[in-house]
Structure 1
Amino acid sequence: MTSPVPASRIPEAVHRRRWAILGVLMLALLIVVLDNSILNVAIKTIATPAPTGLGATQSEIEWAINSYTLVFAGLLFTAGLIGDRVGRKKVLLAGTLVFGIGSALAAESGTPNQLIAYRAVMALGAAFVMPATLAVLMNVFERHEQPKAIGIWAGGVGLAIAIGPITGGALLDHFWWGSVFLINVPIVVIALILMAWLVPDSRDPRPGRLDPIGVVLSVVGLVLLVYGIIKGGELADFTDPKVLATIIAGVVVLAVFVVFEKRTAHPSLDVSYFRNKVFSAAMSAIALVFFALMGVTFFGVFYTQSVRGYSPLESGLLMLPLAVAQLLFAPRARLIVDRFGNRATTTGGLLLIAATLAAFAGFEADTPIWLLEVVFFLMGTGMAHIMTPTSVVIMQALPREKAGSASALSNTFRQVGGALGIAVLGSVLATSYRNGIEGKLGALPPNLRDTAAESIEATLGIAEKLGPRGEALVTPANDAFLHAMHVTALCGTGVALVGAVVTALFLPGRTPAAPQGEKEQERVAAMD
């Protein structure tokens, strides 16, 4: 049995206010997660033609989401290293400020391209906020309290998921679409004041060197890969030479990135971490579950609002069970881990996620809404029992001084998994929808057919403009979307099952956890 890290490692004044510090860190986390959960509900409104929205196409909406996730993921390693070097509190304050400025700019976007650009600015700030929150947490809590603190931290994600759609829906019912971004500004102001007052500064006494070449390679590779995937879905043709060339170029650049990181003396991604099968399995589980879930979130909004006819606020309220389940179970997941081990807990969570995704493949336009609520609750339950144990495994695999790097690595895989999920599953959705609706658009003028086939919102928007003549398009659009949703949900199910196999094979049960903790303490002692 391992003994806790000596209390003298943490100043007494910091130890006394550790729970208040955790509350401030969760507020910082709230603004980052809140933004994405609000945007999910606003997708349909932003896709609506001006003046209600921006008239964004499905590919532009995907880029509004992925410009955030790609910049966020690409900079997390560097942000973690900068926090380790100059101090986590400094980067936390700076990142929060930049995020607030980006939010204000995004609220005033006049075109989809401006929204995409300002979302990237928001991601720049968020990239410094997210790793700093976990890094500070690991430096104000003793090892024996860390699983509980991480569980509460993960529960904060559930709170943000709950507040986001409901807040976004209420704002869209009363204000213009930009209000879903402007709401971040007062939260940022409050967070800055509390962080300056309560949060202690910390840094790695032996920080790693920055790796600008690695950062550029990773961002360029991911952008090329995701752009090719999204473009293939937009064209409904992945054999198009430009699409293939872009995807292949992205894969090649990412391969060069991995080789460079293995050979450089100061990598932003230390690939040696992945020699540990437990660490690799936990990272894979995070990436795969967000790959599957982000794709479902993308089509779920169109299902509830476009097919079922719910308002943005009602759509947000429908997601409440998912958030409630995370709030209930994330802080308690460590108790399940204590009893059954990381392997059983995480694998069970992934199997539950796979089952809920498979349920979407059976949903129709008239499916009882209570079934959707049950599925969302079970989905949140599965998420809670994946995120808490995998986060603990990852954060405790490295010494306390490397907490920023561990947090950055965890969040990078989550964001990259989510970005690829939106790109791949969004492309599956777009391709399936286009194939299903193209044959029903013969009555439209030739110049409108291509636009109408882009998404269900585009089809319904044109149908509305045509008046009575367009009513015949509504049922075919709903049918084509439901078929596309079923195909996409089954793809997500397969991804979640792959994750379950990985965790079942490589995550530890109850007993191997202790030796890993002893090794961590030995590494900490060696650095003292």
Structure 2
Amino acid sequence: MPLLILATLPFYRKYLAEEDTLSRGSFDWLGGALLGVSVALLLLGVTNGTWWFLLGSLLTLALFIVRIRRAADPFVQPKIFANKRYTAGLVLAVLINGMGIALYYVSPLLLSSVQELSTNWIGFVMVPAAVASALLGRVGGKIADRKGNAYLFFLASGLLLVCFGLLSTFTGIAVIGIACFLIFGNVGQSFMQITLANSISATLAKEQAGVGMGIFSMLNFISMGIALGIYSKVIDLGATTQWNPVNPYPAGFVYSNIYLVLATLHALIFLFYYFRFGKTRSSGLQANS
């Protein structure tokens, strides 16, 4: 799908006005290469459980930091990270997106191993949540416009908390139940993406918006990649005990435990956001972060 974006480039060149620039800097190929290598080694290290890859990632990241501090035209301007509101938004986005990817990765594995569904039927079970997310996406945007990003954040966080809590408690429920639980999660994650993008973009100056949102998108992919590696390792290890005492189903301990941890983390993020932003700033990260 990303390759199809190439077909839109001629339209961007045709309809977007050229910006006046006082000077043109050179592209920092070395900085970009160091960042790319660091990210690749990080993902390989998490996926394969290899410490050498992780050490290599830290080394190249350190070299990247040195490079952007010394280069005349760095790949990323270091001063952007001095923006505390922006940095706090990135931290929240990394955590939330890393947890949200469980909806699309752990849930199909649950349906396969516990409900014993075939691949085709797993796809059908995931469809209602995807449709609900698509239909309600515009609703989330309107809620953010009318009531603010903080309101939408609390709504999205609540939906995700309900979804993970139900999945942890009813891992062995009928397939229709899992499909209904996933609706809460997918809609919540869709709303969360809206409020995070709105909030983070509002912390950036005009000249930093492009690179700032680019870093935001990059970190989303990195966090999801790391989370996938972690979930895979945990599922491979399995579980012999169940941490959720109210789950009446004996199967799927490892899935119940994963969802319980995710529900707990979302509850902590909800409380952090409320006490840090919600009580004094009605606009949440858009006003303060």
Q: Please indicate, yes or no, whether the TM-score normalized by the shorter chain is above 0.5.
A: yes
SS of corresponding position for 1:332: helix
Do the aligned residues in 2 keep the contact of 1:288 with 1:499 (CA within 8 Å)? Answer: no
Aligned to 1:510: 283
Per-residue CA distance 1:275-323 (angstroms, 9 max, x = gap): 3333223323322222112234222222223432333332222112322
* SS class of match (2:169): coil
Q: Which residue is equivalent to 1:486?
A: 256
AA of the residue aligned to 2:36: V
Per the TM alignment, residue 513 of structure 1 is displaced from its structure 2 partner at its CA by: 5.4
Relative to structure 1, the CA distance from residue 428 to residue 251 in structure 2 (aligned partners, 3 Å threshold; closer, same or farther) is farther
- TM normalised by structure 1 equals 0.45
Cα gap change, 1:394/1:251 in structure 2, threshold over 3 Å: closer, same or farther?
same
Match of 2:152 in 1: 345
Q: Once the 2 structures are TM-superposed, how far is the Cα of residue 514 of structure 1 from its aligned partner?
A: 8.3
**Cα contact 1:224–1:247 (8 A) shared by 2:** yes
Q: Is the radius of gyration larger for structure 1 or structure 2?
A: 1
Identify which of 270, 294, 299 aligns with 2:77. 270
Letter in 2 for 1:212: W
**1:422 maps to 2:228:** yes
TM-score by length of 2: 0.77
Report the alpha carbon displacement of residue 197 of structure 1 after superposing the two structures with TM.
Answer: 5.8
1:370 counterpart residue number:
176
1:204 and 1:502 map into 2 onto residues whose CA distance is 41
Equivalences for residues 66-465 of structure 1 within 5 A: 99=3, 129=5, 192=7, 196=10, 200-202=15-17, 204-206=19-21, 209-232=26-49, 243-365=50-172, 367-398=173-204, 403-432=209-238
Please say which of residues 392-401 and 298-307 is displaced more in the overlay: 392-401
- The question of whether the paired residues in 2 share the 8 Å contact of 1:349 and 1:381 is answered with yes
Report if the CA contact (8 A) 1:222-1:250 is conserved. Answer: yes
Give distance in 1, aligned partners of 2:190 and 2:103: 17
Range with greater deviation from structure 2 (264-273 or 384-393): 264-273
Q: Which amino acid aligns with 2:222?
A: V
The CA distance in 2 between the partners of 1:250 and 1:512, in whole Å, is 30
- Give the Cα–Cα distance (whole angstroms) in 2 for the partners of residues 430 and 512 of structure 1: 37
Q: Which residues in structure 2 correspond to 1:12-31 (within 5 Å)?
A: 31=1
Partner AA of 1:337 in structure 2: A
Instruction: Give the aligned CA root-mean-square deviation in angstroms.
Output: 3.4
Distance in 2 (CA, whole Å) between partners of 1:244 and 1:511 is 38
Quick check: 1:296–1:492 contact (8 Å CA) kept in 2? no
Go from structure 1 to structure 2 and tell me whether the alpha carbon gap of 1:261 and 1:293 turns closer, same or farther (over 3 Å shift): same
Judged with a 3 Å threshold, the aligned counterparts in structure 2 of structure 1 residues 261 and 502 are, in CA distance, closer, same or farther, namely farther
Q: Distance in 2 between matches of 1:514 and 1:246?
A: 39
Structure 2 unaligned segments of length 5 or more: list them.
242-249
Q: Are residues 221 and 502 of structure 1, via their aligned partners in 2, closer, same or farther at CA, if it must alter by over 3 Å?
A: farther
The SS at the match of 1:331 is: helix
- How far is the alpha carbon of 1:419 from its aligned partner? 0.9
CA contact (8 A) 1:350 1:386 kept: yes
Shift in Å, 1:391:
1.5
Residues 129 and 186 of structure 2 are in contact (CA less than 8 Å); yes or no, is this contact kept in structure 1?
yes
Q: Deviations over 1:70-112 (max 9, x none)?
A: xxxxxxxxxxxxxxxxxxxxxxxxxxxxx36xxxxxxxxxxxx
SS across alignment from 1:405:
helix
The CA deviation at 1:503 is 4.0
Alignment-derived partner of residue 88 in structure 1 = none
Q: Distance in 1 between matches of 2:102 and 2:284?
A: 35
Looking at structure 1, the residues matched to 75 and 268 of structure 2 have their Cα atoms a distance apart, in angstroms, of 28
Shift of residue 397 of structure 1? 4.0
Local SS of the residue matching 1:330:
helix
Alpha-carbon deviation of 1:200? Answer: 2.0
The 1-side partners of 2:45 and 2:133 are apart by 34
The answer (yes or no) to whether the contact 1:291–1:418 under 8 Å persists in 2 is: yes
Aligned-partner Cα distance in 2 for 1:296–1:512: 25
Conserved in 2, the CA contact under 8 Å of 1:429 and 1:485? yes
- For the 8 Å contact 1:352–1:379, the answer to whether it is kept is yes
Deviation digits for residues 429-463 of structure 1 (CA, Å, limit 9, x no counterpart): 22236x89xxxxxxxxxxxxxxxxxxxxxxxxxxx
**Higher-helix-fraction structure:** 1
Q: Which amino acid is 1:429 matched to?
A: I
Contact 2:157 / 2:192 at 8 angstroms: preserved in 1? yes
- Residue by residue, what CA displacement relative to the aligned partner does 1:124-171 show, whole Å, maximum 9, x if unpaired? xxxxx4xxxxxxxxxxxxxxxxxxxxxxxxxxxxxxxxxxxxxxxxxx
| Aligned-partner residue type, residue 282 of structure 2 | G
Deviates more, 1:266-275 or 1:407-416: 266-275
Distance 1:208 1:382 in 2: 41
Match of 1:177 in 2: none
Identity %: 18
Give the whole-Å Cα distance in 2 for the aligned partners of 1:333 and 1:288: 21
Contact 1:353 1:382 in 2 (8 A): yes
